[in-house]
Amino acid sequence: MYAQTDLIVIGSGLAGLTFALKSANAGYRIAVITKEAVSENSSYYAQGGIAAVWSMEDSYESHVEDTLNAGAGLCNRETVEFVVKHGPESIEWLVQNGVVFSRRGEQSGHASEFHLTREGGHSKRRVVHAADATGQKVESTLVSNIHNHDNITIYENCIAIELITRAKLDGCAPDACLGAYVLDSENEQVITFIAQAVVLATGGASKSYLYTSNPDTSTGDGIAMAWRAGCQVANMEFVQFHPTCLYHPHAKSFLISEAMRGEGGKLVLPDGTEFMSRYDQRRELAPRDIVARAIDHEMKAGGFDCVFLDMTMKSKTFLQSHFPNIYTKCREFGIHIDHEPIPVVPAAHYTCGGVDVDLNGTTNLPGLYCIGECANTGLHGANRLASNSLLECIVFADAASRHIIENPVKSDFQAQLIPHWDESQVTDPNEMIVVSHNWDELRRFMWDYVGIVRTEKRLQRALRRVVMLAEEVQEFYSQFRVSRDLIELRNLVQVAELIVRSALSRNESRGLHFMLDHPDSLDSATDTILSKD
């Protein structure tokens, strides 16, 4: 089956939805392809908020400096300035679209300006938020606008398998992206989507780790597809571990927002001792790489399963109004956060690297754009500053949309020459256990060998395993009919290999990449850029 439209957006998180709305308003017909329900993505689960210069006491310079400092010398200053300067208008755009953010004095009934919260690495209060469920508010508001837009069609439960490129079809230069093969999981058929341009907004790859704050959708699909299509990928070694995910046997991936530390939360050991002052003078509000490493160190040194975040200095009323979601969730697990500390552990949270793009979100493959967490824009460098990600989604979705509008792609390729997905050589898989086993194995060794603290020996071990898995998965892929699990496993293995190879090529410690054998940073900071040729 063929489906032809003007623009394809793969992913319905904040980046994908923002792009779709902006481009549809300019008259384009948009297909939003998304592998689960439209709101199931990291964007929906975002808690803390969106960083933007809003207060009179704040300045662009300060937001830029904080971002550069967190990024440990590897951010691209031009990108940082570009994103920071578009912060206030991005918040205004969300407000115009109907998003309601928390305001000061709300509890007293005299709401005025936005309530700005604070997170690690920020020298000012500058995080605009909707209590502790910012993502939910933003995502559900934009989804209802998308549903009401005549130019946008959403394809739920449809997973993109592979990009269709000119080079793959007829080997002719110049190469271009022409569309994507997409598996409709409900009807079990592969649809050939064709468009003037494809926008990858597929989110990160944190599911390549055993423990993560992310939903199941974060399997690095866009990064893997772009890589296979010949795109450059950069800085994949910088995997951000969030310091505080809830530690409870039944709490899958539940985040305890950094905004809690911003409002005074203290990290303590099981006996109640505070420890962050031994690691950084900013204590609980040091950038995430420092806090996560400190917790990892304390857990290993003391043989603890977790550490604790103490919020008991705050009243029940404060906690219920500022963190209603966390308060209720912890309560469901029997934790009363107003009078007992919250058990927390670090978990994989954010992919700082990704597909290399410029300030318009364009990749090195004409007709292919990449925005949001799957892109490497230069904003985050070696460590992302908290709450800069949602901002980046909006700013780059806007930039990519403008670029397409101003530079319409004219393809001379005839759509009817694009072949359907070929299933003539494959059969139904006979042992799906191979897929689930390989999936578990991958996520475990990534956690053990490519985690918060790395060594060359552990990375080499991981490389041997990932290469072996890649062969097994490729064999499976070439013999059997595709399923969502198999597509995601293939992508996870691909992305894991990119992470390990990037980590092995960086012989220093910088930001999130900490090597015991090379504990210091080199004098000059360079990006790790991988390309197939």
Q: Min. distance of Cβ 224 from ligand FAD in angstroms?
A: 9
**CB of residue 418 to ligand SIN, shortest distance in Å:** 39
Are 403 and 360 a contacting pair, CB within 8 Å?
A: yes
Instruction: Please report whether residue 90 would count as binding ligand FAD according to CB under 6 A.
Output: no
User: Which of ligand FAD, ligand SIN, none interacts with 202 (beta carbon under 5 to 8 A by kind)?
Assistant: ligand FAD
**393 binding ligand FAD? (CB under 6 A):** yes
- Window contacting ligand FAD (CB under 6 A); options: 10-18, 187-195, 266-274, 399-407: 10-18
Q: Does 363 bind ligand FAD (CB under 6 A)?
A: no
232 binds ligand FAD (CB under 6 A): no
- Residue from 161, 386, 498, 512 in contact with ligand SIN (CB under 6 A): 386
Which neighbouring-strand residues pair with 127?
51, 117
Candidate residues 387, 401, 438, 528; the one interacting with ligand SIN per rule CB under 6 A: 387
Q: Which residues in the 44-73 window bind ligand FAD by CB under 6 A? A: 45-50
CB 138 within 8 A of CB 16: no
Interaction of residue 203 with ligand SIN, rule CB under 6 A: no
With contacts defined by CB under 6 A, name the span among 25-33, 57-65, 169-177, 256-264 that binds ligand SIN.
256-264
Rounded distance between C-alpha atoms, residue 119 and residue 156, angstroms: 34
Which parts of 333-352 interact with ligand FAD (CB under 6 A)?
A: 350
**Position 395 contacts ligand SIN (CB under 6 A):** no
Quick check: 509 and 521 in contact, CB under 8 A?
Answer: yes
Q: Which is nearer to ligand FAD, 95 or 269 (CB)?
A: 95
User: Whose CA is closest to 514, among 441, 466, 453?
Assistant: 453
Q: How near is the Cβ of 232 to ligand FAD at its closest, in Å?
A: 19
Which phi-psi region, left, alpha or beta, contains residue 419 (left: φ > 0; alpha: ψ -120 to 50)?
beta
**Residue nearest ligand SIN, CB atom distance:** 48
Active-site residue set = 288
What lies within 8 Å, CB to CB, of 355 at 6+ separation is 200, 222, 223, 226, 227, 231, 232, 233, 363, 370, 374, 375, 376
Does the N-terminal peptide bond of residue 343 adopt cis geometry, omega within 30 degrees of 0?
no
CB 397 within 8 A of CB 405: no
Q: Please, which residue, 126 or 465, has the CB nearer to ligand SIN?
A: 126
379 lies in the binding site for ligand SIN (CB under 6 A): no
Q: Binding of ligand FAD at residue 23 (CB under 6 A)?
A: no
257 is a site residue for ligand SIN (CB under 6 A):
yes
Shortest distance, position 257 Cβ to ligand SIN, whole Å: 3
Asked if 47 interacts with ligand SIN (CB under 6 A), we say yes
Residue 100 or 522: which CB sits closer to ligand FAD?
100
Of 509, 500, 177, 219, the closest CA to residue 366 belongs to 177
- Please report whether residue 285 would count as binding ligand SIN according to CB under 6 A: no
Residue 359, classified by CB atoms within 10 Å of its CB into exposed (0-12), middle (13-18) or buried (19+), is middle
Of ligand FAD, ligand SIN, none, which one sits near residue 42, judging by CB under 5 to 8 A according to partner kind?
ligand FAD
Provide the token pair at 318: 């404060």
Stretch that binds ligand SIN, among 85-93, 252-260, 275-283, 475-483 (CB under 6 A): 252-260
Q: Which residues contact 452 (CB under 8 A, 6 or more apart)?
A: 241, 292, 293, 296, 346, 514
Binding ligand FAD (rule: CB under 6 A), the pick from 121, 341, 372, 381 is 372
C-alpha span between 5 and 2 (Å, rounded):
10
CA dist 158 to 95, 177, 191, Å? 30, 19, 9
Considering only the stretches 82-90, 309-317, 336-344, 384-392, report the one whose residues sit in contact with ligand SIN under the rule CB under 6 A: 384-392
As a whole number of angstroms, the distance between CA 510 and CA 488 comes to: 30
102 binds ligand SIN (CB under 6 A): no
Question: Which tokens sit at 17?
Answer: 């939805």
Q: At what angle do helices 77-85 and 60-70 cross, to 10 degrees?
A: 140
Q: Which of 6, 162, 175, 258 binds ligand SIN (CB under 6 A)?
A: 258
Which residues share a beta bridge with 370?
200
Taking alpha carbons only, the member of 140, 30, 78 closest to residue 369 is 30
Strand bridging mode 266-268 / 307-310: antiparallel
Distance CA(137)–CA(469), nearest Å, equals: 39
If contact means CB under 5 to 8 A according to the sort of partner, which of ligand SIN, ligand FAD, none does residue 36 touch?
ligand FAD
236 touches, from ligand FAD, ligand SIN, none (C-beta below 5 to 8 Å by class): none
Distance in Å, CB of 287 to ligand FAD, minimum: 14
Residues near ligand FAD (CB under 6 A): 10-16, 33-36, 41-43, 45-50, 134-135, 159-160, 201-203, 213-214, 217-218, 221, 255, 350, 372-373, 387-390, 393
